[in-house]
Structure 1
Amino acid sequence: MTGRMSSPSASLDYEQAGELKIGQVGIANLRVRTLDVTQLVREMRERVERAPKLFGRAAVIVDFGGLSRTPDPDTAQALIDGLRQAGVLPVALAYGTREIEQLAEQLGLPLLAKFRAQYEPVGASAGSGAAGGAVGGASAPTSTATADAPARQAVAAKAAPAQAAQIKAAPASKPGLVQKTPVRSGQQLYADNRDLTVLSTVGAGAEVIADGSIHVYGPLRGRALAGAQGNTDARIFCREFHAELVAIAGHYKVIEEVPKELRGKAVQIWLDQEELKIAALD
């Protein structure tokens, strides 16, 4: 189970109306998949009740890009108000379409396009809709896409050699960032476009983030977020696992979801078909 929270007394026997992903600096992105205000508010309240230290009064960006239609202002406002009552703080909308921009103005909320881009698949266009799995606005009509397909294929064939040359000429990623001293409570460490290696402890309340993988050679007690820009191949390795939260490409688990037999152990964490896996290291 990844990014899906339920009441401790109830099993997940229904499709989640909202998919929650954890981004940088502790901001959560709530991608609305089903516009059911009651269910969305209930799910968020359950998340807060289950992990109040992580989600209580957490900043949340609301993303309507997965819907076929932009909500009307009254429905969107009801959701914003409900999320506040559930214990989180909606701070912005994720940028998607012109209609989303107008909705943000009506709600008095800002747009955060850069945050949204972190969760789009590589190669996805800004106009991709829910059918394409992207966060963006509604997709183009099928008839137009079909009519333009031969032309797009011809352009792609001509551009392929140039694209290949660009890929070969692309600069290598930065060397990994090595942190020799402890990352203490309240501190945040970010490895931009590279892996992160911590030779000491990541304390409770601390946060380590990397666009690549994360290696912790001491106890991991805070939060570790790998693949921050959407790299699903990133992994987390630690020698002693006590993490409050771990995430890869936005898919997360909190400590309450981790089997007790893995706590305090050396583990590796990876993403397998959008499901976060945790296993002991041999």
Structure 2
Amino acid sequence: MSAALDYEQAGELKIGQVGIANLRIRTLDVARLVDEMRGRVQRAPKLFSRAAVVLDFGGLTQTPDAATVRSLIDGLRDAGVLPVALAYGTSETERLAEAIGLPLLAKFRAQYERGDDAASVAGTAAPATAVAAQAAPARAPAAAAAPPKTAPTPAAGNPGMMHAAPVRSGQQIYADNRDLTVLTAVGAGAEVIADGSIHIYGPLRGRALAGAQGNEHARIFCREFHAELVAIAGHYKVLEDIPKNLRGKAVQVWLEDEQINIAALDT
């Protein structure tokens, strides 16, 4: 995963914390988009099968017509994902949403784009939801030299949040505008999210999403790595893309050149 982001992919997918997937269309090739999403579902069926998706046409120079979008929706449903809305962009997008009978989600993209003042989610715990996505293609893992093992300061200088109890399947913990430290295990099917970095002093078997509001300097540290998914600032890797020699090890996860890197920590 050392190559630059492949903008020749038809759809870009990133992981966020809002419980829904945002598919930003870059190439309006229905067959290609459907094939890409079908591949994502096949690689990580527990994460993406029957996943709710918001269609975002902001990456195109022209808003597509209703017939093309209906064809795309049918293909995505056949691939195992569920288009539920359009991302708000222009008045043309609003008319398109009305024509195809889907709602608009205003400012959905804001928290993934640098420089935007997205509204943050209040509180430290959120209800259990499906993992979100704003699509960036999954890549083959590649070895990378680990940088110095120093975590960035919490977002906005806020003190970190500490969670002492195990995070169990179906549970979601969110550290708003700060780092998150989990003193025990994150179980399979559980989700921990932080706007800053995440530190886990037990096994990570569920999902960990750091830099949820776009902080690309956030990191994930865990003592025993079995993660279903890890994400930083929306860029993600699923278990199927993680080298087997890192499973069960103490690792750190960081983002470099828009690529997720994972390396073992010396213990």
TM-score range, shorter chain: 0.7 to 0.9
In 2, distance between residues paired with 1:245 and 1:31? 20
Which of 231, 234, 241 is the aligned partner of 2:225?
241
Look up the match of 1:253.
Answer: 237
The 3-state SS of whatever aligns with 1:22 is: coil
Identity of paired residues, percent? 77
In 1, distance between residues paired with 2:211 and 2:101? 31
Unmatched tracts of structure 1, length 5 or more: 3-11, 125-134, 136-170
In 1, distance between residues paired with 2:116 and 2:86? 23
Unmatched tracts of structure 2, length 5 or more: 118-133, 135-154
Please give the per-residue CA displacement for 1:189-212, whole angstroms capped at 9, x wherever unaligned. 011111111001000000111111
1:40 equivalenced with 2:12 (yes/no): no
Higher relative contact order (CA 8 A, sep 6+): 2
Kindly tell me the number of residue pairs found equivalent between the two proteins. 228
Regions of 4+ moved over 4 Å: none
The 3-state SS of whatever aligns with 1:53 is: helix
The 3-state SS of whatever aligns with 2:104 is: coil
Q: How does 1:253-272 map to 2 (within 5 A)?
A: 253-272=237-256
Letter in 2 for 1:108: G
- The answer on whether the counterparts of 2:110 and 2:116 sit within 8 Å (CA) in structure 1 is no
Look up the match of 2:203.
Answer: 219
- The answer on whether the counterparts of 2:219 and 2:232 sit within 8 Å (CA) in structure 1 is yes
The 3-state SS of whatever aligns with 1:246 is: strand
Look up the match of 1:102.
Answer: 95
The 3-state SS of whatever aligns with 2:173 is: strand
In 2, distance between residues paired with 1:104 and 1:194? 36
Determine which structure has the larger helix proportion and give its number.
Answer: 1
In 1, distance between residues paired with 2:76 and 2:31? 10
Q: How does 1:89-168 map to 2 (within 5 A)?
A: 89-122=82-115
In 2, distance between residues paired with 1:119 and 1:75? 27
In 1, distance between residues paired with 2:43 and 2:116? 36
Letter in 2 for 1:280: A
How far apart are residue 15 of structure 1 and its match? 2.8
Look up the match of 1:140.
Answer: none
Look up the match of 2:126.
Answer: none
Between structure 1 and structure 2, the one with the greater Rg is 1
Which of 181, 193, 197 is the aligned partner of 1:209?
193
Look up the match of 1:59.
Answer: 52
Q: TM-score, normalised by structure 1?
A: 0.77
The 3-state SS of whatever aligns with 1:212 is: coil
